[in-house]
Amino acid sequence: MSELWQLSVTQASQLLADREISSVELTECLLQRIADVDGRLSSYITVTGDVARQQAEMADRRIAAGEAGPLTGIPMQIKDLLCTGGVPTTCASRMLAEYVPVYDATAVGRLREQGAVLLGKGNMDEFGMGSSTENSAFFPTRNPWDVEKVPGGSSGGSAAAVAAGMAAFALGTDTGGSIRQPASFCGVTGLKPTYGRVSRYGLVAYASSLDQVGPLARDAADCALILQAIAGHDSHDATSLPDPVPDYAAGLNGDVTGLRLGVPQEYFGEGMDAGVRATVTSAIDQLAALGAEIREISLPTTEYALACYYIIAPSECSANLARYDGVKYGYSHRGEGDMWEAMERTRQHGFGPEVKRRIMLGAFALSSGYYDAYYHKAQQVRTLIREDFTRAFEGVDALVAPVSPIVAFPIGERTDDPVRMYLVDVYTLPVNIAGLPAMSVPCGFSDGLPVGLQLIGPHLAESRLLNIAHAYQQATDWHTQRPAL
């Protein structure tokens, strides 16, 4: 048997059900793994050893009583942007360094109800703003495949932890690529669900019309189990979808025969790494060999997506982050001067440089006289991007593309050039603009670093995407490769 920390959710769940292992053993093994390797990777902001041990004991009792679900007793990491009752939730920001929520985010609460075990909170870019986890106010996370490289972001801690065997799975969030891109950089499987499929209640808001919660795990079968647990309507989030949640695991038949897969030509543009192109192309060939029909398609407004996103996301961020004023909660820099000065100092010291940049960009785009030229125009472009996808899905069942034009880059390489950093997300953010579901599936290596294949589907087509990924993973073993640490 492989070491316990290497197990997928599906494997661990089976061993727990068969009483081959206990959740306490599994949890201790993962906590030990964190103690052994996280010093080199820094994927956790907080490790909740005591909470984990307690929850594992409870899970073992549930299993013994025959009341277990597929996630009962499975150790997980939660991105630090999701509220965990009684456990610090910092958003990787000095602003919330001391914040301990009194409630769970809905997605977290649903996992807790299932009996999943909380190992701790994942490092990330401050408030989710970034693509490399270098914007964490505390420390950068390192890529388990090469510690000199970034793990991607903003859910970099989550992707690194799953890749390095420091969690069986993680919950991340994706506003413009933050689940898929780190999943791609670290060689794990990530799913960004349809906007509204998973409740955003208790997810600290970055850009509310784009944010979505989803799993990072070893494979598509695991993602199906996790999505099953967290998806569905929530009366606390008016944008959560009322549509019934299908049985995702039951939909995994591994058959893609006759499925029409579109390859958007705009997603293979200039600036793309030759190794990434070759790897993704051969993954598409593999899907063809499995019986899928491959068609070239076009998403003509793709070139405007980056500009559109970087107006809408900062605009929403500037409104959402107005709540951090040093009065209601979080960091407060009082002392000399009046209320306004205290507020100014609080925001000056509480926020990092990228967050400030976004707030300024957004406040500018929304200000009177500029609103029509920027925000309103971006909303119109958003409609065009959405229509591109709608048209594409009239002729194909799903799209296949790279997740990122490049593989994991050296730490520090792009921190001085925000636009170069933003460009890393060109192939992921159109999906958020349109509110679609998408996955990152490990499909090979370039320069020794993992490459992700992106699958994009129409609204609520998570089952279809999971099944395509599952078919691919049954025929290949890229998702089983683990970094040597």
Whether 178 sits among the annotated catalytic residues: the reply is yes
* Closer Cβ to ligand GLN, 75 or 452, answer by number: 452
Listed in order, strand segments (DSSP E) in 373-473 are 398-402, 438-446, 449-456
Query: Counting contacts by CB under 6 A, is residue 183 touching ligand GLN?
Result: no
Residues 265 and 153: their CA atoms lie apart, in Å, by 25
Residue type, 380: Q
Candidates 120, 128, 193, 202: give the one binding ligand GLN (CB under 6 A): 128
Whether residue 43 contacts residue 160, with contact meaning beta carbons closer than 8 Å, is answered with yes
73, 122, 177, 182: which one binds ligand GLN (CB under 6 A): 177
Q: Which is nearer to ligand GLN, 47 or 203 (CB)?
A: 203
230 near ligand GLN (CB under 6 A): no
Q: Is 130 in the site for ligand GLN (CB under 6 A)?
A: yes
Three-state SS for 414? coil
Structure-token pair, residue 309: 């996103």
- The SS3 call for residue 262 is strand
Residues 310 to 349 in contact with ligand GLN, rule: CB under 6 A: 313
> Least separation, in Å, of the C-beta of 130 and ligand GLN?
5
Alpha-carbon gap, residue 120 to 85, rounded angstroms: 12
Tokens standing for residue 277: 């192109």
Cβ proximity of 354 and 126 under 8 Å: yes
Q: Residue 59 CB, nearest distance to ligand GLN (Å)?
A: 31
For ligand GLN, give the closer residue by CB, 176 or 483.
176
Instruction: Mark residues 257-296: x for contact with ligand GLN by CB under 6 A, - for none.
Output: ----------------------------------------
3-state SS string over 332-356?
Answer: CCCCCCCHHHHHHHHHHHHCCHHHH
Closest separation in Å from C-beta 6 to ligand GLN: 28
CA angle 130, 204, 311 (to 5 degrees): 50
Strand partners, 5: none
CA dist 177 and 54 (Å) reads 34
Catalytic residue among 22, 42, 132, 154: 154
Tokens of 476: 């290949």
Q: Which is nearer to ligand GLN, 106 or 154 (CB)?
A: 154
Compute the distance between CA of residue 321 and CA of residue 361 in angstroms, rounded to an integer.
13
Cα dist from 449 to 70, 167, 187, 453, whole Å: 32, 21, 8, 13
Task: Decide if residue 122 touches ligand GLN (CB under 6 A).
Answer: no
Least distance from ligand GLN to the Cβ atom of residue 156, Å: 11
Piece of 175-183, 217-225, 230-238, 283-291 that binds ligand GLN (CB under 6 A): 175-183
Count interface residues toward ligand GLN (CB under 6 A). Answer: 13
With CB under 6 A as the contact rule, the residue among 42, 48, 131, 184 that binds ligand GLN is 131
In sequence order, the 6+-apart residues with CB closer than 8 A to the CB of 154 are 81, 124, 125, 128, 129, 130, 131, 133, 135, 173, 175, 178, 182
**Could you tell me how far CA 62 lies from the centroid of its own chain?**
30
Quick note: the x/- pattern for ligand GLN over 415-434, rule CB under 6 A, is ----------x---------
- Rounded to an integer, what distance in angstroms lies between the CA atom of residue 270 and that of residue 144? 28
> Can residue 398 be called a binding residue for ligand GLN (CB under 6 A)?
no
Q: Which of 186, 157, 166, 226 shows the shortest CA–CA distance to 404? A: 186
Q: Give the range of 123-131, 163-171, 295-303, 469-477 binding ligand GLN by CB under 6 A.
A: 123-131
Stretch 37-66: interaction string toward ligand GLN, x if CB under 6 A: ------------------------------
Cβ(105)–Cβ(211) below 8 Å:
no
Supply the minimum distance, in Å, between the C-beta of residue 109 and ligand GLN.
Answer: 22
- Shortest CB 135 distance to ligand GLN, Å: 8
Q: Between 79 and 345, whose beta carbon lies closer to ligand GLN?
A: 79
Rule CB under 6 A: say whether 126 interacts with ligand GLN.
Answer: no
Report if residue 174 touches ligand GLN, rule: CB under 6 A: yes
123 near ligand GLN, rule: CB under 6 A: no
Total residue count of the chain as it appears in this document:
485
Closest to ligand GLN by CB, 192 vs 479, is 192
Partnered with residue 445 across adjacent β-strands are: 450
129 touches ligand GLN (CB under 6 A): yes
Q: Residue from 141, 143, 178, 404 that binds ligand GLN (CB under 6 A)?
A: 178
Among residues 132, 158, 178, 332, which one is catalytic? 178
Other CB atoms within 10 A of residue 412 CB: 12
In the numeric block, which tokens belong to residue 222? Answer: 């695991």
User: Is residue 232 a contact residue for ligand GLN (CB under 6 A)?
Assistant: no
Question: Whose Cβ is closer to ligand GLN: residue 71's or residue 305's?
Answer: 305
Separation CA 178–CA 125 (nearest Å): 9
Among 120, 152, 156, 176, binds ligand GLN (CB under 6 A): 176
Q: Which amino acid makes up residue 131? A: S
The one catalytic residue in 23, 79, 131, 332 is: 79
User: Residues with catalytic annotation?
Assistant: 79, 154, 178
Catalog residues that contact ligand GLN under the rule CB under 6 A.
128-131, 154, 174-178, 206, 313, 425
